[in-house]
Structures are given as C-alpha cells and as structure tokens.
Amino acid sequence: MEQTRLHRGRLIDHIQLVVRDLAASEGFYRAVMAVLEIPVMGTDQGNFLADERVVSAADSPTAAGALTGRHHLAFQAKDRAAVDAFFGAALAHGGRDNGAPGLRAYHPEHYAAFVLAPDGNNIEAVYQGEAKRSARSVTIEVQARRPRRAPSLMPAPGSGRTAPVLPMARPFGGPAPGARGDPVGWRAATPSPTRPRPAGHRFRGRGCS
C-alpha cells in the first residue's frame, strides 16, 4: 500500500497576475469572486487583491522591473532558513537571481527570495513570520490499493504443491471419472474406429457402420 504526501499547509502564498486594463479586470474578478464568496479589496497603487491573488496593472510599481514570464508564484516557507535554502537550490539548478533573500517592504515580517525559472516565470519563496496567515504543516496521505491478482491454477515452481483437480464432464454413455479406477479429473479414452474395440462394441458415427 503506497502513501503520497500532497502538500504542506497552504503551500501557495500568493499569485500575481499582470494585466493591461486594470479597471476591466477588476470588474471581471469582482463578479466571479462574488460567486465564489471571495472578497475583493479595493485598488491600491495599481493593484487589487482577492485572497492570495494579486492583480496588477502593467505600469504599477509591483509589476515594474525585468520582463518575466506570464506568472509569478510565491511558495510559503516554514522559516527564513527555508527561504535561503530555496534560493541556493534554485540557482544551482538553472534559476537566475531575481532578488536575494531578505526583508521586503510589504510588511516587517515579509522575508523572501526571488528567482527566474528556466522558462522566465518569477518564482518566490516567502516567510511571513509567526502569523495566522502562515499555516502549519499538514500531511494528507492518499493510500493506493494494489489490484488483486487472479489466483493461478498452476503451482509455483518448487512449492511442493500439486495443481488443483478440475472436474470434467462424464464421457457420453460411460461411467463417471474414477469409476473404473481412472484418476479423478481425467476421462478414459473413448474408443474410436482406428483403435481396437472390445468384443460386442459397435461404434456409430458418420461414415461408419
């Protein structure tokens, strides 16, 4: 039985979307988020928020800087050391420095590091401090059951077991298997025109007399 760990706590801290028309996007997201019962906070410095989603105008301060890919994803780290480790691992595996680990001006506890992934997406690891927003690690296990095999009719080599005896049909007009001392499960051969026949036996079939 296999166990799979799906995630640790919240995992995704926030996602930033950069748009051309902030007003049109705000109207769209306010409508769809209302259906999902997710509040949208007002526009501030070219941004608006919907829970962990940040929507920014292309000319806003938060969207300024080097041109990146389509997405910005921030993964939640358990502490500052994890942010530092994320940055080192990313640079060692093809990532590019887009902001070394350190405190950011968003709030006093926002400790983050930024890297550009090989495809240009802006990936962040962030530790928000011991606040309610940072969820503790939670393990969700999924247990996968292996399909059962159909029982084999043949014994495994070297097992010392014999194959199971399967019942066979009674020969037409003859005794049941084993009635004449034959092994149970085996049928005595039926006489044929090409084999010697007992005295008084008459074989009836197509083309025979």
Q: In 3-state terms, what secondary structure has residue 127?
A: strand
CA distance 72 to 121: 6
Structure tokens at 145: 């059951």
Q: Residue 63 gets which letter from DSSP?
A: G
Domains of the chain: 2-14+55-141 (3.10.180.10)
Determine the average pLDDT of the residues in 120-146. 67
**Report field, pTM of the whole predicted structure over 0.75:** no
Asked whether the predicted pLDDT for residue 6 surpasses 50, the reply is no
Range from 46-60, 73-87, 109-123 carrying the lowest mean pLDDT: 46-60
| Average pLDDT taken over every residue of the chain | 69
Does residue 188 surpass a pLDDT of 50? no
**Three-class DSSP category at 86:** helix
